[in-house]
Chains A and B, each alone.
Chain A
Amino acid sequence: MNANSIPSNTNVSALSVRLAIPADRDFIVETIIGAEKSGTDRLSYCTLFDLEECELRRLLAELVDEDIPGQELCISGYLIAEVDGQRAGATCSWIEGKGAKSSAIVKGSLLAHAFGRERVVASAARLELVAPLTMPREAGALQIESVYVASPWRGRGIVRALINEHLRHAGEREAPPEKCQIIVAANNYAAIRAYRRFGFEITATRSSCHAALAQLLPANARAQMTKQLR
Chain B
Amino acid sequence: MSSIDDRLLALLRRVFNDPDLVVHEQTTAADVDGWDSLSHITLIADVEGEFGIKFKLRELMSIDNIGDLQRLIAGKVPPAPI
Contacts and interface: CB of A to CB of B under 8 A. Distances in A.
A, B from the same assembly: yes
Interface of A: 66, 68, 98-113, 115-117, 120-121, 124, 127, 130-131, 134, 136
B1 interface: no
Nearest to A107: B37
B45 to A, nearest CB: 4
Given A100-B64, A117-B48, A121-B45, A108 B37 contact: yes
B25 to A, nearest CB: 13
Contacts of A112: 40-41, 44-45, 60
A91 to B, nearest CB: 20
Contacts of B46: 121
Nearest to A118: B45
B78 to A, nearest CB: 19
Interface of B: 28-31, 34-42, 44-46, 48-49, 54-57, 60-61, 63-65
A77 B60 CA distance: 20
B38 A127 contact: yes
A105 B37 contact: yes
A50 to B, nearest CB: 14
A113 B63 contact: no
A113 B45 contact: no
Contact of A117 (B36, B49, B56): B49
B37 A117 contact: no
Most B-side CB within 10 Å, residue of A101, A117, A131, A134: A117
Nearest to A119: B45
B14 to A, nearest CB: 11
